[in-house]
Amino acid sequence: MPAAIASEGLTKRFGQVNAVDGIDLDVPAGSVYGFLGPNGSGKTTTIRVLLGLVFPTAGSHSLLGTTTPKALGRVGALVEGPAFHPYLSGAANLARLDAANRAADSRTAKRRIAASLERVGLTAAAAKRYRHYSLGMRQRLGIAAALLQPRELLVLDEPTNGLDPQGTREVRGLIAELAGDGVTVFLSSHLLSEVEQLCSHVGVMSVGRLVWQGRLADLRAQREPSIVVETATPQKAADVLNASGLHDVSVSDGHVRARLGEAEPERIVAALVYGGVGVRAFGVEQPSLEEQFVGLTGEGFDVSG
């Protein structure tokens, strides 16, 4: 089975800036792929290139094993927020998009539009003008547009942006449901909890480069635990930890931290006690996905790069 999305050395230069800088994407068919990165790291540009809206400066890419123009009929997409004609109703906007799709069957249009609206919970607002929609409703209509046809790949750019907690839950449920039906989902997001909940794979972008890609489980396996010692004599504890061969020992108001590495926590505690350190509390901490993310991108989340 070909990869749902594959790219080699994909590059997009705007003027002097490489917005996307030689990325090799590999999105396995059937996966839910979380595309992570700070704002301005090139996620949306990558999505635009993949969907054929923007032409790459260098490199190649394929969707569903073929070229973008050939694959687009089997791809549903939400790109950089929803956009519809403000004076048309939700249903009329979908009818407009469906009419433009050369592969769409006009005889089934009404039924498909109704089913799409139903699926995102917009049936009651179908006849309402788009300009009166709330941000959450607009987002849902964007997803409805992506679902007008049966799709094999969904490219969703921040699909829960602007949704209330209830709507966020519903949309995540919908994505999980679609993924359960075998649809590959390429989900760009800056919400780490969302990615942790939904995704089987992740790719992490930083300043136009793909700095990590693979199974989420593998990323989690890579994390390095650290230890925290709470004591009245932190300097003494730090000396013991250094002597035990631990790295990155740091002291801050009564807490001593260090990377655990290959050492066994039990032995560290024993060494501390043997070294005369009064241990008040001892813990092993797993870094959160956020900490891993910051480790990879080298900057705070949501900071433009």
Residues that bind another protein (CB under 8 A): 48, 51-55, 69, 72-73, 75, 77, 79-81, 83-87, 95-104, 106, 145, 148
> 107 or 302: whose CB is closer to another protein?
107
| Both structure tokens of 59 | 């490199």
Give the residue among 73, 94, 75, 76 at the shortest CA–CA distance from 84. 94
In whole angstroms, how close is the CB of 64 to another protein at the nearest point?
13
> 66 or 101: whose CB is closer to another protein?
101
In whole angstroms, how close is the CB of 189 to another protein at the nearest point?
19
Helix axes 234-243, 265-274, angle to 10 degrees: 120
Interior CA angle at 77 toward 72 and 217, to 5°? 105
- The DSSP result for 26-39, as a single string, is EE-TT-EEEEE--T
In whole angstroms, how close is the CB of 56 to another protein at the nearest point?
10
> 7 or 45: whose CB is closer to another protein?
45
> 109 or 251: whose CB is closer to another protein?
109
> 54 or 260: whose CB is closer to another protein?
54
Give the Å distances, CA to CA, from 120 to 44, 107, 138, 228: 23, 22, 11, 46
Query: H or E stretch including 135?
Result: helix 135-146
> 3 or 92: whose CB is closer to another protein?
92
Q: How many Å apart are CA 26 and CA 2, to the nearest integer?
A: 10
Give the residue among 207, 244, 281 at the shortest CA–CA distance from 19. 207
> 99 or 176: whose CB is closer to another protein?
99
In whole angstroms, how close is the CB of 243 to another protein at the nearest point?
58
Q: How many Å apart are CA 78 and CA 62, to the nearest integer?
A: 18
In whole angstroms, how close is the CB of 7 to another protein at the nearest point?
17
In whole angstroms, how close is the CB of 77 to another protein at the nearest point?
5
> 82 or 234: whose CB is closer to another protein?
82
Residues 6+ apart with CB under 8 A from 9: 22, 23, 24, 58, 59, 60
Q: Which amino acid is at 100?
A: A
In whole angstroms, how close is the CB of 84 to another protein at the nearest point?
6
In whole angstroms, how close is the CB of 142 to another protein at the nearest point?
8
Q: How many Å apart are CA 284 and CA 175, to the nearest integer?
A: 34
In whole angstroms, how close is the CB of 26 to another protein at the nearest point?
22
Query: H or E stretch including 112?
Result: helix 109-119
> 81 or 261: whose CB is closer to another protein?
81
Check residue 157 and report its DSSP letter. E
| Both structure tokens of 198 | 């939904």
